Chain A
Amino acid sequence: KAGVTQTPRYLIKTRGQQVTLSCSPISGHRSVSWYQQTPGQGLQFLFEYFSETQRNKGNFPGRFSGRQFSNSRSEMNVSTLELGDSALYLCASSLFVGGTGELFFGEGSRLTVL
C-alpha cells in the first residue's frame, strides 16, 4: 500500500512569509503527527491530530498550526517565517492512537527560509 505522502518535498521562502505543508497518511490511518528535524535540536514533536481534533501539541510558538480533514489528510502552517524555521518537516501516521504502535513517516518537506 502507498506510504505517507508529503508535499511539497522542497521549498524556499523568505522571512515573514507563510508556508503550508501537506500530508496524506497511509490509507486507513487516522492519526497524523508532525515533527520538525533540525541539526541542532534533532526531531521534535509539533502536534498530533486524530479525527480532525488536535490531541497533543509540542512546545512550539503559535505561529505553528495545523489541521486535519475528514479524509485524515493533514496540513501544517507556519506564519511569519523566521530563519530558524529552516528544517525538515516530517509527517507520520499511525493506525491506532495513544498506543504503542509504530509511526510511519513520510520523506519530509525540506523548508529553507532565506
Chain B
Amino acid sequence: DQQVKQNSPSLSVQEGRISILNCDYTNSMFDYFLWYKKYPAEGPTFLISISSIKDKNEDGRFTVFLNKSAKHLSLHIVPSQPGDSAVYFCAASDGTQGGSEKLVFGKGTKLTVNP
C-alpha cells in the first residue's frame, strides 16, 4: 500500500506561471513532510519542508501547504522557470519510526516548464 501518493506523473506549465504539485498521504502518524527535486543523473536535493504543526511554509518562489484534515499537501512554485524542470518527490516521515532518515516517498511528478 502506498502511504504517499503523487497522482500526477507529469505536469507541464508555461514559464512565469504557477506550478502546483500535489501529494496525498494515508498515514496519520506522519509528522514531517518534505519536497525533493531530482535532475537526471543526479541524486535528489532537498527543496522545502513543513512540520505537521504548520499549514504553510514559504521559501522564495516555493511554498508548501499542508491540509492535515484532508491528508494533502501541495507545492507551489511562483513564478515557474525553465530551470525548475525536474522530477519532484513528496516525502513524509514518522518521528516515532526513525525520523527524517526513514522517509516514505511518493513516486514523483515530472515538471516541465516551457519557455
Binding site for B on A (CB under 8 A): 4, 31, 33, 35, 41-45, 48, 55-56, 58, 90, 92, 94, 97-108
User: Could you show 22 A-B contacts with beta carbons less than 8 Å apart?
Assistant: A33-B101, A33-B102, A35-B105, A42-B105, A42-B107, A43-B89, A43-B105, A45-B102, A56-B102, A92-B101, A97-B101, A99-B100, A100-B32, A100-B49, A100-B95, A100-B99, A101-B100, A102-B46, A103-B103, A106-B43, A107-B41, A107-B42
Nearest neighbor of B47 in chain A, beta-carbon distance: A102
A63 to B46, CA, bound (A): 30
B 55-100 contacts with A by CB, 8 A:
89, 91, 93, 95, 97-100
**How many chain B residues touch A (Cβ–Cβ < 8 Å)?**
27
A104 to B42, CA, bound (A): 12
A35 to B99, CA, bound (A): 15
Expressed in whole angstroms, the minimum distance between the Cβ of A11 and any Cβ of chain B is 15
**A106-B43, A107-B43, A108-B43 as given contacts; A56 in contact with B105, CB under 8 Å:** no
| Contact of B12 with A by CB under 8 A | no
- Are B34 and A102 closer than 8 Å at their CB atoms? yes
* Complex contacts, B44 vs chain A, CB 8 Å: 43, 90, 105
